[in-house]
Amino acid sequence: MPTSSAPERVVVTGIGIITSIGHNITTYWDNLLAGTSGITRITTFDPTDYPSQVGAEVKDFDAKQYMDPKEVKRNDRYSHFAMAASREALKDAILDTTKLADASRFGVIIGSGIGGIETMEKQAMTLFEKGPRKVSPFMIPSLIANIASGIVAIEFKAQGPNFGVVSACATSCHAIGEAFRFLQRGEADVMLAGGSEAAVTSLGYAGFCAMRAMSTNFNDEPARASRPFDLNRDGFIMGEGAGVLVLETLSHAKARGARIYCELAGYAATCDAYHITSPDPEGKPLSKCITQALADAKIKPEEVDYINAHGTSTPYNDKFETLAFKRAFGEHAKTIAISSTKSMTGHLLGAAGAIEAAVAIKAVQTGEIPPTINYETPDPECDLNYTPNVKIKRKVRVAISDNLGFGGQNAALVFRALD
């Protein structure tokens, strides 16, 4: 436990990524910088009768490389992704969890916005076609949204804080922020934190298509479909995968000689309290969230160099998020480099915050900023610097990742170079 009232400093030492454009942080980052799209026509199911027919699927993924084959059968695809990303994160951190001095100070917070929807679909069909006695005894634990966090903790013997966060598309941003708080308070030394999602299913698509939330104008040109902040954006593109970070107290990381990416310095969460699906039209609660996260980090707005935006490619989100940035940063908003990597990965719902926090972290580490691809026609209402189409080099000492979720949830994380 800490010997003073000062909060522990928290650092990032490992990043695990499973996405349509990479199954590890190196491949993911290289593809982002190159502007590579992972969006194609859907292959998981026949999308012919669906208004939106494209998505960012994780391909060439073998869960048995990361989990015991029996556990693969017992768990949903979203948990497969979570386990894979956790293994990748620990590998990246060069951290052998069996050598941790106290397992009760090692925790896991991995969330999912939806959980095991594939399991729900399959077991519902079993019920309707074969009757209740044929429903799997593993159905309930497989589909619940906290089980990924549970199975990862079991695998790596993490006996510290453990739960799943469910806050729609802000899920993994909240998960990382809550893990940050446990470390700050000295209640843990190491935390695995992030999110996982596998909602590219027939039911998942039917639901979002019914809401008219997804793009329908680019079914014949999938790679052009996700176009955040562009005038011709017409909806988001579903993605799948997972992102997990290894977070440690600075003292713990230094004691084991860890490679440190950067410091996680601030976190905040607010609610729009406006509408179940639409963001606040003036961007005030999101702006407040960003302002509070900066205050938590003791960083001035003018010190921010980069924002990885939520940038969903929906008409309302991108417009209102731009307003929030202007409220939070004033004139400085015009000089900040902003990008939405959803233009390449699609929208991973509950996993979005983690794979996008990874972008902010890498921007601080490398001084490179990935582009927003498909930015072709400027929108007068989205008039900031969205890093159009080509990566840039720029010194990044402070970066923000923000996320919004249905229900009005907002979350923001602040990363900075370690002094």
Contact 224, 379 (CB under 8 A): no
User: Which position among 80, 289, 347, 382 bears the catalytic label?
Assistant: 347
Q: Give yes or no: 23 in active site.
A: no
Q: Give yes or no: 252 in active site.
A: no
Output the 3-class SS for the chain. Answer: CCCCCCCCCEEEEEEEEEECCECCHHHHHHHHHHCCCCCEECCCCCCCCCCCCEEECCCCCCHHHCCCHHHHHHCCHHHHHHHHHHHHHHHHHCCCHHHCCCHHHEEEEEECCCCCHHHHHHHHHHHHHHCHHHCCCCHHHHHCCCHHHHHHHHHHCCCCCEECCCCHHHHHHHHHHHHHHHHHCCCCCEEEEEEEECCCCHHHHHHHHHCCCECCCCCCCHHHCCCCCECCCCCECEECEEEEEEEEEHHHHHHCCCCCCEEEEEEEEEECCCCCCCCCCCCHHHHHHHHHHHHHHCCCHHHCCEEECCCCCCHHHHHHHHHHHHHHHHHHHHCCEEECCHHHHCECHHHHHHHHHHHHHHHHHHCEECCECCCCCEECCECCCCCECCCEECCCCEEEEEEEECCCEEEEEEEECCC
User: Which position among 169, 173, 262, 382 bears the catalytic label?
Assistant: 169
Q: Give yes or no: 289 in active site.
A: no
Catalytic center residues: 169, 310, 347
